[in-house]
C-alpha cells in the first residue's frame, strides 16, 4: 500500500495535490534560503517574520490567522523538510486516491490548522514550523480506517502505521524542540475529518 512504484510523471498525474504540497514546501525552503543569503538575515528569523507559527505568552492567541496554514509549508532546516517530505511522499498517496484530491487537500490543511490550534492552547511560548501536524493528520485518517473499516487496509500497512505512531510518540516526548501538541492536534483532526468523510460518502451511496 505504501510502496511507490510510479515514475515521476505518473506520480504527478495520480497525486496532483500531494505533488503541489511537496513543491510548495521545497520552493519555500529554497526561497527562504536564497533570501537569507541575499539579505544576510538568518532564515529562521525570516520564517518567523513571514510565515511561522509564533506564540508568545504576552500575545496569547495568535492574531494572524494565515500563520495557522503558512507554517505547515515552512521547515526549520533541510533535515526537517526531508523527514516530513518523505512521510508525505510515501504515506499520503493512497489517502489522496481514496478521498479524492479536494477532500485530501482539505484534510491536509485542516490537520495542519488543528495542530496549530492545539499548539496555541496547550503549548507555552513557541515558534513552530513544519508539516508534521498534517502528516499526523494523515496517520489519524489511516487509524480511522484501522478501527472502523478494517478491510480498507492490508495487515502489513496497519503494522507500518502502528509502528510509526509508536516511534513518533516516543520521539515527540523524548526529543527536545519537537511539537507534541501539533502532532496530537493534527492526528485528532485527520481522524475526525476522515470519519466525517466516510459517514457522508456512505450516506450518499445508500
Residues 6+ apart with CB under 8 A from 15: 92, 93, 96, 97
Q: Could you confirm whether 111 is annotated as catalytic?
A: no
Of the listed 37, 132, 157, 177, which one is catalytic?
132
Report d(CA 167, CA 60) in Å as an integer. 32
Is position 132 annotated as part of the catalytic site? yes
Look at the block and give the residue holding cell 493534527: 186
Nearest to 116 by CA among 57, 54, 194: 54
| First-to-final CA distance of the chain | 27
Catalytic positions, written as ranges:
132, 183
Amino acid at each position: 500500500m505504501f510502496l511507490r512504484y510510479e515514475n515521476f510523471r505518473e506520480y504527478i498525474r495520480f497525486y496532483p495535490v500531494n505533488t503541489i504540497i511537496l513543491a510548495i514546501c521545497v520552493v519555500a525552503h529554497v526561497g527562504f534560503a536564497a533570501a537569507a543569503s541575499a539579505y544576510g538575515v538568518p532564515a529562521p528569523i525570516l520564517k518567523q517574520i513571514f510565515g511561522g507559527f509564533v506564540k508568545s505568552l504576552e500575545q496569547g492567541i495568535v492574531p494572524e490567522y494565515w500563520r495557522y496554514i503558512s507554517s505547515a509549508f515552512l521547515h526549520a532546516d533541510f533535515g526537517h523538510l526531508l523527514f516530513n517530505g518523505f512521510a508525505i511522499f510515501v504515506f499520503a498517496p493512497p489517502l489522496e486516491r481514496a478521498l479524492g484530491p479536494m477532500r485530501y487537500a482539505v484534510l491536509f490543511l485542516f490537520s495542519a490548522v488543528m495542530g496549530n490550534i492545539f499548539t496555541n492552547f496547550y503549548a507555552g511560548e513557541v515558534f513552530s514550523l513544519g508539516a508534521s501536524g498534517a502528516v499526523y493528520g494523515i496517520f489519524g485518517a489511516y487509524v480511522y480506517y484501522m478501527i472502523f473499516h478494517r478491510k480498507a487496509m492490508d495487515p502489513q500497512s496497519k503494522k507500518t502505521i502502528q509502528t510509526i505512531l509508536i516511534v513518533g510518540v516516543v520521539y515527540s516526548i523524548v526529543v527536545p524542540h519537537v511539537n507534541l501538541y501539533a502532532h496530537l492536534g493534527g492526528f485528532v483532526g485527520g481522524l475526525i475529518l476522515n470519519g466525517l468523510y466516510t459517514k457522508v460518502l456512505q450516506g450518499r451511496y445508500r
